[in-house]
Structure 1
């Protein structure tokens, strides 16, 4: 498996399409909203943990780095660990991250 194009715009679109649906459970490696999105893109189960992502079948030391926006999203959603999150809730978190970190390169 090669790395995936993790564009913020694509993730936001995916969340908006699932506004009232549960998109994942933050804090659970393979059920985190970001992991669910990546898994759908590549057609296999992938996980996210902190600053990295990768296929479930691979050891975490072989996973790839997440872009900054995704690292911040994972960190911010950790406080909602193991609770169902809708697309709308995840999008609101991304909006707040962007508001607070306006000067960062996404």
Structure 2
């Protein structure tokens, strides 16, 4: 499985381009905002689960590690589990992650 380069800056840009759009449903491993973004990069469905990400068609034991910022975003966004999330809402969570990590 080839890993994708997950860039904080590219995720920010993707969210900003979709400020008022639904970008995913936190807590749903194939449809959370991070999975939706990664899937758009890969051109096929990818998922996130805990600290890992990978193609939906692969055994999750073969998935790659998420970068720390992505893991934290995923964890912090789960307080909104199963509800639609806009780009603006996801960006606000990502900004909190950025402040926490000291970027």
Pairwise CA RMSD: 0.9
After TM superposition, give the deviation of residue 96 of structure 1 in Å.
1.1
In structure 2, distance between residues paired with 1:96 and 1:67: 16
Aligned to 2:82: 82
In structure 1, distance between residues paired with 2:46 and 2:32: 10
In structure 2, distance between residues paired with 1:79 and 1:19: 20
After TM superposition, give the deviation of residue 102 of structure 1 in Å.
1.2
* Structure 1 unaligned regions, length at least 5: none
How many residue pairs get matched?
103
| 1:52-85 CA-partner distances (Å, limit 9, x unpaired) | 0001111110000000000000100111110000
TM normalised by structure 1 equals 0.94
Aligned to 1:8: 8
Aligned to 1:61: 61
In structure 2, distance between residues paired with 1:100 and 1:55: 29
| 1:37-60 CA-partner distances (Å, limit 9, x unpaired) | 000101110000110000111111
Structure 1's consecutive aligned runs of 4 or more residues displaced over 2 angstroms after TM superposition are none
* Structure 2 unaligned regions, length at least 5: none
In structure 1, distance between residues paired with 2:47 and 2:56: 6
2:33 is the alignment partner of 1:33: yes
In structure 2, distance between residues paired with 1:92 and 1:27: 17
